[in-house]
Amino acid sequence: MKFYLLDKNENIIDNPPSEDILELFQDIQSHKADAVSGSLVLDERYTKDLDNVRYFAISDRNSEHNFWLYRKTIAQVQNKEIVFNGTGAFYDDLKGYGYIKEKRPNNITSVQALHLILDNTRWNIDYVDDRLNNEYHDADFYYLPYLDCFSKILETWQVDVVPFVNIEGNKITRRYVNLYYQQGGNNGRRFVYGSNALTVEKQTNDTDVYTALVGRGAGVEETNEDTGELTGGYSRKINFANESWSKSAGDPADKPAGQEYIEWPQATALYGYSDGAPRIGIVEFDNEKDTANLLRETWQHLLQVGVPQVQFKQPSAMSDS
* Domain match, 217 and 201 both: no
Do 290 and 151 belong together in one domain? no
C-alpha span between 294 and 238 (Å, rounded) = 9
Same domain flag for 217 and 196: no
Is 194 found in the same domain as 70? yes
On whether residue 227 sits in a domain, the answer given is: yes
pLDDT, residue 62, reads: 86
Say if residue 11 is in the same domain as residue 82: yes
What is the C-alpha to C-alpha distance for residues 203 and 313, in angstroms, rounded to an integer?
8
Q: Determine the Cα–Cα distance for residues 219 and 234; give it in Å rounded to an integer.
A: 5
In a domain? residue 104: yes
Where does a domain end: 174, 206, 238? 206
How large is the angle between the packed helices 89-96 and 146-156, nearest 10 degrees? 120
pLDDT score of 207: 60
How many domains is the chain partitioned into structurally?
3
d(CA 55, CA 164): 14
Three-state helix/strand/coil letters over 205-235: ECCCCCCEEEEEEEEEEEECCCCCCEEEEEE
- 52 with 11, same domain: the answer is yes
Is the same domain home to 51 and 195? Answer: yes
- What are the E-state strand segments in the chain? 3-6, 12-14, 21-28, 35-41, 55-59, 66-77, 81-88, 99-103, 124-128, 141-145, 159-168, 171-181, 189-194, 202-205, 212-223, 230-239, 261-263, 280-284, 309-312
Residues in the chain: 321
Domain extent, residue 275, equals: 212-305
Beta bridge partners of 40: 21, 82
Mean pLDDT per 10-residue section of the chain, whose length is 321 residues: 94 95 87 89 90 93 90 82 93 95 96 97 96 95 95 92 94 95 54 37 63 94 63 76 97 97 96 94 95 97 86 40 32
Q: Which residues pair with 180 in a beta bridge?
A: 160
Q: Can you give the pLDDT at residue 1?
A: 87
320 belongs to a structural domain: no
CA 116 centroid distance within chain: 17
User: Backbone dihedral region of 169: left (phi > 0), alpha (psi from -120 to 50 degrees) or beta?
Assistant: left
Task: For residue 176, tell me if it sits in a domain.
Answer: no
Q: pLDDT by residue (tens digit) across 47-104?
A: 898 889 999 999 998 888 899 999 998 877 877 899 999 999 999 999 999 999 999 9
Which amino acid, one-letter code, is at 1?
M
Domain contains 242: yes
Same domain as 188, residue 66: yes
Same-domain pairing of 32 and 106: no
State residue 310's pLDDT score.
Answer: 58
Contact (Cβ atoms closer than 8 angstroms) between residue 55 and residue 9: no
Domain co-membership, 192 together with 218: no
Residues 258, 290 within the same domain: yes
Report the DSSP pairing between strands 55-59 and 3-6. antiparallel
Q: Are residues 202 and 226 in the same domain?
A: no
Q: Whole-model pTM?
A: 0.82
